[in-house]
Amino acid sequence: MSSFLNARIDSLAIGGNGVCRINGKVCFVPFACPGDLLALEITSEKKSYLTARIAAILEPSQSRVTPLCPVFGRCGGCAWQHIDYSCQLEQKYQMFSEALWRGARVDSAVISPVVPAPSPFGYRGRVQLKLYGGGTRLQIGFFRHGSHFVEDTPCGCPVARLPINHAMGQLRDVLARFSGVGQIPQINLEAGDQGLVATVNYIGPDRAQAIDFFTSERQRLSELSGVWLQSGRKSSLMHIWGDKLLFYGMPTGERHQEMSLEFAPGGFSQVNFQQNRIMSGLIRRMVRESKSKRLLDLYCGNGNFSLPLASDVISVTGVESYSGSIISAQANCHRNSVDNAAYLCADSSAAVSELVRNGMRFDTIILDPPRAGAADVIDSLCTVCPSTIIYISCDPSTLARDCGILAGRGFKVTESVPVDMFPQTPHLESVTMLKAV
């Protein structure tokens, strides 16, 4: 052990690694827990930081727990199953508040505690299963950390919803009989409130063979309500059998009322429906407090956040670049008898410029951009002159960057609520309100 260095872990970094200092230099340690006293082996040394692996746990933290998953530490799906959930929430708050302070000088006084997940396990309604069928045994699971090797998960995934795990077991048995299984790199499983659809990514030359196989195996795939085939981009999606759509319920502004929202395979949907409902409630409160009348929803998807607000405002306009999601948003309007919402398929920045040229004005803009953030649309959205921006983010770093840019355009963060959409991982969502000053 003389070649190892001892260190105590102080905190966790945004990427999920433990943080300590060795000879005055920051060191990142995967699978560490705050409070751990560890024997470390340095694996990499850069100019400004080190990385290390755990050689031994000399004194475990009081927050260290036994992971539920037997492949935890090898599977790349989770990074924090070894950390008590209350500690996860504390660390997420620290990471979130520090990111907003560094990037936009947002005071912690306007940042709420992290909203905990009602179910820290069994919450995930969408998974991407990686497959390797080239060996003697079919492997289905997730990539190992830092590699493209498939870590087999025959017992299922603890963070996935129960129907998904049941379907994984059936797929394993069925695919073992398919001669073209080596041409399937991935299967997506997506669950609604009812129903579970699989999208098979097939890269083989004989697409008809895959269609015939999954059609013939329908009875053995009773956990699935539908199957699609994809052989390239989303435009290649082909329905094979069963459900074409999935549905989930969302609360509306009307007392005790819910609307049913559809989404199609290939379109975006939140993976944690319980937390999605909580976020919708946060956004509704912010809209009401802002006395919003006209909403612009950028990166709107299927209308997930803006449609439930339609009864609270005069009008809703949504913009999304993926046509499949816009088709769902328009269908959701019809299904729920919403007549004051319009959803457009377009690039967000170009759409905002066109709306302004047409004399459209909005007092509130809802943003739900991808992980890269909304820097490309900030200039155009500021021409709308909104009084309120509600920014939904899945990445604290890009949120902080964009809040800093918006501060330079005359907007101030008045409230930010981190929401734990992804327990057992370092990721989280957040809802942030900015006001024109």
Which residues participate in catalysis according to the annotation? Answer: 394
Spatial separation of the C-alpha atoms in residues 2 and 96, rounded to whole Å: 37
Query: At 318, phi and psi to the nearest 5?
Result: -115, 145
Spatial separation of the C-alpha atoms in residues 306 and 302, rounded to whole Å: 9
The partner residues of 38 in beta bridges, in order of sequence, read: 7, 57
CB 125 within 8 A of CB 421: no
Write the secondary structure of 21-74 as one string of H (helix), E (strand) and C (coil): EECCEEEEECCCCCCCEEEEEEEEECCCEEEEEEEEEEECCCCECCCCCCCECC
CB 229 within 8 A of CB 204: no
In 167-281, the DSSP E strands lie at: 186-191, 196-201, 226-230, 238-242, 246-251, 258-263
Residue whose structure tokens are 């082996």: 41
CA distances from 192 to 33, 168, 262, 281, 437 (A): 34, 16, 9, 20, 41
The partner residues of 392 in beta bridges, in order of sequence, read: 431
Encoded amino acid at 96, one letter: F
- End-to-end, the C-alpha distance of the chain in Å comes to 59
Query: At 168, phi and psi to the nearest 5?
Result: -60, -40
Residue 262: both structure tokens together: 């559809």
Spatial separation of the C-alpha atoms in residues 35 and 281, rounded to whole Å: 36
Spatial separation of the C-alpha atoms in residues 263 and 199, rounded to whole Å: 14
